[in-house]
Chain A
């Protein structure tokens, strides 16, 4: 082991990197840690916590969530809506993205821009006309209305992302499939879709999280408590005069758990999906 300047410098950089990484990680994790601390504090005591370490630990907030409130019901609603919305967006969005990527036709650029513009309208300014529209067609206060609403939030990104994925599929592969007698549709199903699969996983996750987290549509388009999604349920702990922080944070953690599991299991896919979509 030699104490050459290069060796010393290399180790100092490595040490600096590790320390910086740990500090950054701690700063980023702190709010989530604090959610956990509040969630295990007895109801009403979270405002006067004496230290950053939990003093008393109770699981009561979690149990009362399921015993006193329809949290289980809300979670089931969220799972149904998010799964349907992200799956349908995936099917519709990728077929749209495929056509925009592989076939030359007039108006393709216009469709891409138009789809992007719909994403720029702040939700708060379309919610009133959307409410009127849903009331007129009978989608107000229904699960299917919620699914349709969430599809419209996810599809534009699905189109843009999947176009990126299909752009990366070499045209030769499809050409040779078509010489072998495949139709366009056949080439889409048998060649391009399988090759874009990791990217499709990323779109599905993105759609699932967007729908899972949506508050504005969930809050405005559904009134009946038994139809609420969990995002809406969580805010119900925020009263007009006082807020049950402990219950709310417990609910938030329960609510985040499925997404965290999806992330842990699929983190490799998320990164590679984002990569195939946008690196050229």
Chain B
């Protein structure tokens, strides 16, 4: 009798400890993490590893007999290929251009709408609207507007003296900036939301104190607004860097990488190598290169931010 009691007591403590583990301890952590990590691991992690494997293989549909030949040949080709280097540089310029453009536009829009009282919701929605347009559609609209013969941009420029329109997407010099403008228009609302939220979080007393000290608007911006926005700007820039580096639909639809490779960023080159060149192994290698380059750029940027904060005494 006493034995049975002890056993059921043991079972109870066991059950209780399992319950405790699942609602409090390591089991809880595991169960809460599992679904998210499982999906990300399966859908992105596994293909990433698969791409890594492919990058050492030779899966090229124009030379099917080569499949199964493993080696470093794709990486050797990567270093010798001038296209891959120019693609890395173009990706970096594109990323830089879209980050600077988006932050500048979002910051001006947020500063101008911050103290607005009337039509506040209207202005907010106005600056959020480009985000409702998917990149694919944004590319199509800008394509119509950029058109050399019929595009509205050239038609409007006809009315401006001393300025002539251009074949925006066909000229080597104008194609790349034109793409950056379209991309900035499409993605700056993301930065706008974050910066506006950050502005509203700055305590009003700081500005009142500055006004008593008769600080000019620019001085207020430089000594209060910017330092207070530091953290949020750092987050926004990382987000925009990743978005800009990965950007595909706008470039692909508007120029497809042309004219003559002038806009062939790493993502577009990867796509063209895979789906036009049918060399899937080399495309995978380019994808690995893209990951490495973007990790270097993002980590480098984060280091820079950390160092700047240290210099300013941190906070």
Contacts and interface: CB of A to CB of B under 8 A. Distances in A.
A227 B126 CA distance: 33
Nearest to A156: B40
A21 B140 contact: no
A219 to B, nearest CB: 9
Contact of B136 (A38, A93, A235, A267): A235
A163 to B, nearest CB: 12
Most A CB contacts (10 A, CB to CB) among B126, B185, B197, B268 go to B197
A25 B123 contact: yes
B157 interface: no
Interface string A37-56: 01000000011110010000
Interface residues of B, number: 90
B131 interface: yes
Contacts of B271: 124
Contacts of B98: none
B132 A256 contact: yes
Interface in A212-263: 212-213, 215-216, 231, 234-235, 238, 243, 245, 248-249, 252, 255-256, 259-260, 263
B121 A267 contact: yes
A186 B28 CA distance: 12
A138 interface: no
Contacts, number: 261
Interface residues of A, number: 88
Contacts of A155: 36, 39-40
B226 interface: no
B248 to A, nearest CB: 6
A92 B142 CA distance: 37
Interface of B: 23-24, 26, 28-29, 32-33, 35-37, 39-40, 42-48, 50-51, 54, 105, 108-109, 112-113, 116, 121, 123-138, 140-142, 144-145, 147, 150, 152, 155-156, 185, 193-194, 196-198, 200-201, 217, 231-232, 235, 242, 245-246, 248-249, 253, 266-268, 270-271, 274, 280, 283-284, 286-288, 290-291, 294-295, 298
Given A13-B217, A99-B33, 18 more contacts: A28-B126, A96-B33, A96-B36, A118-B40, A121-B291, A122-B245, A122-B246, A124-B268, A124-B287, A125-B290, A129-B50, A129-B51, A152-B42, A155-B40, A215-B135, A235-B136, A249-B140, A256-B137
8 contacts: A29-B126, A96-B37, A117-B295, A124-B248, A126-B287, A129-B284, A152-B42, A155-B39
Interface of A: 13, 17, 20-21, 24-25, 28-29, 31-32, 34-35, 38, 46-49, 52, 91-93, 95-96, 98-99, 103, 105, 111, 115-126, 128-130, 132-133, 148-149, 151-152, 155-156, 158-159, 183-186, 209, 212-213, 215-216, 231, 234-235, 238, 243, 245, 248-249, 252, 255-256, 259-260, 263-264, 267-268, 270-275, 278-280
